[in-house]
């Protein structure tokens, strides 16, 4: 390759982050709505029959399909399907910071308003129940944060002889912050709590 060919390839490249092709991509919506004159956030409790995280609290959302026009489109589509509402009932949808999960996921969170809680008819195959929490509650109550430590364990065939230090190589350890909000008898934690904390931080400081 000559200089011209190399530069042409580089100019055509749209930067992302290395390895993004191996990540599963999801979109979620932080649904806001008015209840008795104040702004609330709507949460779902996942159906007990689901393979992943049954019974846990989450925001509406799911995996981005190849047919989805954008991450935003996927968030609206998933919310519409899970809550049994028309997409036109989801308004003023804007993005938050996307999240890279240590478990091979990219999550694209959005915030939007639902225009009518009475029309919500949750899809029972995915949603066990829904509930709302006043936005003000999260302004007044900080999340509890706990550390989760992970350890790298190379596979048995790993070529230790090729790296400095061999089997005594000083691997970096990783620490993950897990967020928890407690509201009445509900426990909001994991990625949902992390996204929620980020949203509240945006409201408070920007």
Q: What is the dihedral of CA 78, 80, 83, 88, to 10 degrees?
A: 150
Quickly state the pLDDT bin for 59 (edges 50, 70, 90): very high
Q: Is residue 206 over pLDDT 70?
A: no
Report if residue 1 sits inside a domain: no
CB-side neighbour CA atoms (13 Å) of 117: 15
Report if residue 67 sits inside a domain: yes
Angstrom distance (rounded) from CA 26 to CA 17: 16
**C-alpha closest to that of 28 among 63, 53, 2:** 63
Q: Are the C-beta atoms of residues 71 and 27 closer than 8 Å to each other?
A: yes
* pTM, 2 dp: 0.87
Report if residue 53 sits inside a domain: yes
Q: Are the C-beta atoms of residues 43 and 129 closer than 8 Å to each other?
A: no
Question: Measuring CA to CA, how many Å separate 156 from each of 149, 153, 162?
Answer: 22, 9, 14
Q: Are the C-beta atoms of residues 28 and 101 closer than 8 Å to each other?
A: no
Report if residue 2 sits inside a domain: no
Q: What CATH code is carried by the domain that includes residue 47?
A: 3.90.79.10
Q: Are the C-beta atoms of residues 75 and 98 closer than 8 Å to each other?
A: no
Q: Are the C-beta atoms of residues 93 and 79 closer than 8 Å to each other?
A: no
Number of domains in the chain: 1
Taking residues 135-154, report their average pLDDT: 92
Report if residue 10 sits inside a domain: no
Report if residue 85 sits inside a domain: yes
Q: Where are the alpha helices (DSSP H) in the chain?
A: 3-12, 71-83, 135-140, 190-205
Q: Is residue 54 over pLDDT 90?
A: no
Quickly state the pLDDT bin for 15 (edges 50, 70, 90): confident
Residue 116 makes CB contacts below 8 A (sequence gap 6+) with 85, 89
Report if residue 30 sits inside a domain: yes
Higher pLDDT, 57 or 149: 57
Query: What pLDDT shows up at residue 71?
Result: 94
Q: Are the C-beta atoms of residues 138 and 110 closer than 8 Å to each other?
A: no
Domain span at residue 70 reads 22-205
* 4 phi and psi angles, rounded to 5 deg: -65, -45
Q: Is residue 138 over pLDDT 90?
A: yes
């Amino acid at each position: 390759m000559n200089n011209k060919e190399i530069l042409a390839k580089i100019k055509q490249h749209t930067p992302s982050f290395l390895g993004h092709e191996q990540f599963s991509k999801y979109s979620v919506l932080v649904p806001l709505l008015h209840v008795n004159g104040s702004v609330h956030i709507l949460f779902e409790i996942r159906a007990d029959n689901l393979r992943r995280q049954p019974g846990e609290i989450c925001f509406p959302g799911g995996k981005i399909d190849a047919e989805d026009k954008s991450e935003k489109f996927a968030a609206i589509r998933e919310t519409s399907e899970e809550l049994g509402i028309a997409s036109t009932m989801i308004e003023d949808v804007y993005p938050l910071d996307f999240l890279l999960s240590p478990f091979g996921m990219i999550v694209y969170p959005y915030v939007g308003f639902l225009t009518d809680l009475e029309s919500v008819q949750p899809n029972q195959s995915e949603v066990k129940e829904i509930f709302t929490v006043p936005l003000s509650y999260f302004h007044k109550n900080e999340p509890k944060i706990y550390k989760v430590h992970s350890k790298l364990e190379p596979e048995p065939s790993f070529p230790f002889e090729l790296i400095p230090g061999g089997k005594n190589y000083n691997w970096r350890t990783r620490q993950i912050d897990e967020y928890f909000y407690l509201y009445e008898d509900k426990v909001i934690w994991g990625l949902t709590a992390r996204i929620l904390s980020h949203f509240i931080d945006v409201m408070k400081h920007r």
